[in-house]
Amino acid sequence: MRERLAIPERVKVFTCSCCPPNLIRFVGSVAEYMYSADEDTIYTQCYMDADTEIALKDGIIRLQQRTGYPYSGDVELTIFGEGHFRLAVRMPSWCSGGFVQVNGEQVHNSPADGYVMIERKWSSGDVVEIHLPLETRLISANPRVSEACGRVAVVRGPLVYCAEGIDNGGRPLKDIRIARTAKFWVSDETIDGITVPVLVTDAVCRKPGDELYSCQEPEFEHVELKLIPYFARANRGISEMTTWFLEDNVNTLPLHCR
């Protein structure tokens, strides 16, 4: 019996579904989530393509944001309007080694409470570049989360990844092990008409046997594990899926993947 979500593939929207009105409500609220401001400070909260006007005590400032986030960690923010105010650039907690440039010059202020504070007299046309390295990393749950105990999830930038059986030869995904030192390769793939970054890594899995229980030391084999962004799951038919993998702490087999 494969472990699956309650709905392992996309279904038609029900006539009484609450999702469409909630989606409309969310889209209508995006502007409130993207920036916040007080009299003399603009806080960046979310990164996406947008044109925004914000009223400060000294006048209106227009912000033009262009980015490929979350698939790219580069964000360009152009300021239209003049005045002396602070720009608080959010540095996400998952980001290590991120930095900010203003008109090509790096800002050396250290993040405080998750923001790089830039206070200056701004001129119309000033460009702020935000660079957020999208490193692939493994995260663990608190041991009190019993179902994820001893397991790791794969995250790249802000995106959580999962594996589906359709990409991994029908292997039992719950038995696949990933090492902390695993390397990941990134490529683009189209799923249901949308191009997304997929990850491939070298993992290990026990060789299948016929016994229900065994006292023998298990034999392992290397497998190529393919992962897709979690939001893209369940678009290619019924398939096993998991986001949590066993952590491989004893793998000594030579790597062969790629």
Structure-token pair, residue 61: 């400032």
Can you give the pLDDT at residue 208? 86
Chain-centre distance of CA 249, in angstroms? Answer: 25
> Helix-strand-coil percent breakdown of the chain, rounded to 5?
10, 45, 45
Q: What is the pLDDT of residues 152-196, one digit of tens each?
A: 999 999 999 999 999 999 899 999 999 999 999 999 999 999 999
Q: What angle do CA 26, 28, 31 make, to 5 degrees?
A: 100
Can you give the pLDDT at residue 19? 74
Can you give the pLDDT at residue 221? 93
Structure-token pair, residue 182: 């695993």
Burial class (CB in 10 A: 0-12, 13-18, 19+), 248: buried
Can you give the pLDDT at residue 87? 98
Instruction: Report DSSP letters for 139-154, one per residue.
Output: EE--TT-GGGTTEEEE
Domain extents for the chain?
19-131, 136-248
**Residue ranges for the chain with pLDDT beneath 70:** 1-8, 11-17, 250-258
Chain-centre distance of CA 112, in angstroms? Answer: 23
Can you give the pLDDT at residue 13? 63
Can you give the pLDDT at residue 16? 67
Instruction: Report DSSP letters for 219-244, one per residue.
Output: PEEEEEEEEEEGGG-S-SSS--EES-
**pTM for the full model?**
0.86
Alpha-carbon distance 178 to 183, whole Å? Answer: 10
Neighbours of 122 (CB within 10 A): 21
| Strand pairing class (159-164; 220-229) | antiparallel
Helical (H) or strand (E) element with 34: helix 19-34
Alpha-carbon distance 145 to 64, whole Å? Answer: 42
Can you give the pLDDT at residue 94? 94
Can you give the pLDDT at residue 32? 85
CATH topology of domain 19-131: Maltose phosphorylase, domain 3 (2.60.420)
